[in-house]
Protein backbone atom coordinates (compact mmCIF):
# COMPACT_ATOMS: atom_id res chain seq x y z
CA UNK A 1 0.00 0.00 0.00
CA UNK A 2 0.94 3.60 -0.64
CA UNK A 3 2.68 5.52 2.14
CA UNK A 4 0.11 8.35 1.91
CA UNK A 5 -2.59 6.18 3.46
CA UNK A 6 -3.64 5.42 7.02
CA UNK A 7 -6.28 3.26 8.64
CA UNK A 8 -8.81 4.43 11.24
CA UNK A 9 -11.69 3.11 13.30
CA UNK A 10 -14.38 5.22 14.94
CA UNK A 11 -14.68 3.14 18.10
CA UNK A 12 -17.82 1.86 19.88
CA UNK A 13 -17.87 4.73 22.41
CA UNK A 14 -17.94 7.41 19.71
CA UNK A 15 -20.57 5.48 17.71
CA UNK A 16 -22.77 5.06 20.84
CA UNK A 17 -22.46 8.77 21.60
CA UNK A 18 -23.56 9.81 18.10
CA UNK A 19 -20.22 11.27 17.01
CA UNK A 20 -19.74 9.50 13.65
CA UNK A 21 -20.84 12.53 11.62
CA UNK A 22 -18.80 15.07 13.59
CA UNK A 23 -15.66 12.92 13.41
CA UNK A 24 -16.02 12.37 9.65
CA UNK A 25 -16.52 16.11 9.24
CA UNK A 26 -13.22 16.80 11.02
CA UNK A 27 -11.45 14.15 8.93
CA UNK A 28 -12.73 15.76 5.72
CA UNK A 29 -11.97 19.28 6.92
CA UNK A 30 -8.38 18.21 7.63
CA UNK A 31 -7.96 17.24 3.98
CA UNK A 32 -8.19 13.46 4.13
CA UNK A 33 -9.89 11.57 1.31
CA UNK A 34 -11.87 8.42 2.12
CA UNK A 35 -10.56 5.45 0.12
CA UNK A 36 -12.59 2.73 1.87
CA UNK A 37 -15.25 2.69 4.60
CA UNK A 38 -17.56 0.25 6.38
CA UNK A 39 -19.89 0.10 9.39
CA UNK A 40 -19.19 -3.21 11.08
CA UNK A 41 -18.71 -4.95 14.42
CA UNK A 42 -15.62 -6.84 15.58
CA UNK A 43 -16.05 -10.34 16.97
CA UNK A 44 -13.92 -11.37 19.97
CA UNK A 45 -11.65 -13.25 17.58
CA UNK A 46 -11.33 -10.21 15.28
CA UNK A 47 -10.41 -7.89 18.15
CA UNK A 48 -7.89 -10.34 19.62
CA UNK A 49 -6.24 -10.65 16.20
CA UNK A 50 -6.31 -6.93 15.40
CA UNK A 51 -4.76 -6.04 18.77
CA UNK A 52 -2.47 -9.10 19.02
CA UNK A 53 0.53 -6.81 19.51
CA UNK A 54 -1.01 -5.73 22.86
CA UNK A 55 -1.88 -9.22 24.13
CA UNK A 56 0.60 -9.17 27.03
CA UNK A 57 -0.61 -5.75 28.24
CA UNK A 58 -2.69 -5.62 31.42
CA UNK A 59 -5.49 -3.79 29.58
CA UNK A 60 -5.82 -6.36 26.75
CA UNK A 61 -9.01 -8.00 28.09
CA UNK A 62 -10.63 -4.63 28.68
CA UNK A 63 -9.59 -3.47 25.20
CA UNK A 64 -11.12 -6.52 23.48
CA UNK A 65 -14.33 -6.22 25.53
CA UNK A 66 -14.64 -2.54 24.65
CA UNK A 67 -13.89 -2.92 20.95
CA UNK A 68 -16.47 -5.71 20.53
CA UNK A 69 -19.34 -4.16 22.50
CA UNK A 70 -20.89 -2.34 19.53
CA UNK A 71 -20.38 -1.34 15.92
CA UNK A 72 -17.44 0.65 14.60
CA UNK A 73 -16.67 2.58 11.44
CA UNK A 74 -13.50 1.31 9.74
CA UNK A 75 -11.89 3.43 7.02
CA UNK A 76 -8.82 3.90 4.88
CA UNK A 77 -7.82 7.55 4.52
CA UNK A 78 -5.48 9.27 2.12
CA UNK A 79 -3.43 12.45 2.51
CA UNK A 80 0.23 13.26 2.07
CA UNK A 81 2.07 11.96 5.16
CA UNK A 82 -1.23 10.41 6.29
CA UNK A 83 -0.05 8.40 9.31
CA UNK A 84 1.61 11.35 11.07
CA UNK A 85 -1.01 13.89 9.95
CA UNK A 86 -3.83 11.71 11.25
CA UNK A 87 -2.14 11.12 14.60
CA UNK A 88 -1.86 14.89 14.97
CA UNK A 89 -5.56 15.28 14.14
CA UNK A 90 -6.68 12.66 16.69
CA UNK A 91 -4.32 13.70 19.53
CA UNK A 92 -2.66 11.67 22.29
CA UNK A 93 -3.99 8.21 23.26
CA UNK A 94 -5.03 9.62 26.63
CA UNK A 95 -7.62 12.39 26.01
CA UNK A 96 -6.38 14.22 29.13
CA UNK A 97 -3.06 14.67 27.30
CA UNK A 98 -4.58 15.38 23.88
CA UNK A 99 -4.17 18.87 22.38
CA UNK A 100 -7.15 21.24 22.21
CA UNK A 101 -9.30 20.72 19.13
CA UNK A 102 -8.13 17.16 18.49
CA UNK A 103 -10.71 14.41 17.97
CA UNK A 104 -9.79 12.64 21.21
CA UNK A 105 -9.86 15.89 23.20
CA UNK A 106 -13.35 16.57 21.85
CA UNK A 107 -14.88 13.09 21.86
CA UNK A 108 -12.89 10.61 23.96
CA UNK A 109 -13.67 9.90 27.59
CA UNK A 110 -10.62 7.89 28.76
CA UNK A 111 -7.37 6.26 27.65
CA UNK A 112 -9.27 3.03 26.97
CA UNK A 113 -12.42 4.53 25.44
CA UNK A 114 -10.65 6.97 23.21
CA UNK A 115 -13.09 7.44 20.30
CA UNK A 116 -10.77 6.71 17.38
CA UNK A 117 -7.87 4.55 16.25
CA UNK A 118 -5.07 5.74 13.99
CA UNK A 119 -2.29 3.52 12.60
CA UNK A 120 1.15 4.16 14.06
CA UNK A 121 3.21 3.40 10.93
CA UNK A 122 2.85 2.95 7.18
CA UNK A 123 3.51 -0.76 7.65
CA UNK A 124 0.74 -1.14 10.24
CA UNK A 125 -1.61 1.02 8.15
CA UNK A 126 -1.26 -1.49 5.31
CA UNK A 127 -1.72 -4.50 7.64
CA UNK A 128 -4.75 -2.95 9.37
CA UNK A 129 -6.39 -1.89 6.07
CA UNK A 130 -5.94 -5.41 4.72
CA UNK A 131 -7.48 -6.83 7.93
CA UNK A 132 -10.75 -4.98 7.21
CA UNK A 133 -10.89 -4.51 3.43
CA UNK A 134 -10.30 -6.57 0.33
CA UNK A 135 -8.57 -4.93 -2.63
CA UNK A 136 -11.91 -4.37 -4.39
CA UNK A 137 -13.28 -2.42 -1.39
CA UNK A 138 -10.50 0.20 -1.54
CA UNK A 139 -10.99 2.93 -4.17
Catalytic residue IDs = 117
Contact predicate 74/40, CB 8 Å: yes
104 binds ligand CMP (CB under 6 A): no
d(CA 73, CA 58): 26
Give the torsion sign (CA, 130, 26, 118, 116).
negative
131 binds ligand CMP (CB under 6 A): no
Contact predicate 9/73, CB 8 Å: yes
What is the smallest separation between the CB atom of 6 and ligand CMP, expressed in angstroms?
Answer: 12
- Smaller CB separation from ligand CMP, 58 or 135: 58
Binder to ligand CMP among 59, 65, 121, 123 (CB under 6 A)? 59
Binder to ligand CMP among 20, 85, 105, 112 (CB under 6 A)? 112
Q: What region does 39 belong to: left with phi over 0, alpha with psi -120 to 50, or beta? A: beta
**DSSP strand pairing (72-78 vs 33-40):** antiparallel
46 binds ligand CMP (CB under 6 A): no
- Smaller CB separation from ligand CMP, 43 or 136: 43
Paired strand residues for 92: none
8 binds ligand CMP (CB under 6 A): no
What is the smallest separation between the CB atom of 136 and ligand CMP, expressed in angstroms?
Answer: 26
Name the residues that contact ligand CMP, by CB under 6 A: 54, 59, 62-63, 93, 111-112, 114, 117
Amino acid sequence: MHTNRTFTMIKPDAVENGHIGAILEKINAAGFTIKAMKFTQLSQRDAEAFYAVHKERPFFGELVEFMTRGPIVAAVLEKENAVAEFRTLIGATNPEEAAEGTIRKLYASSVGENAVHGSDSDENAAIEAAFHFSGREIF
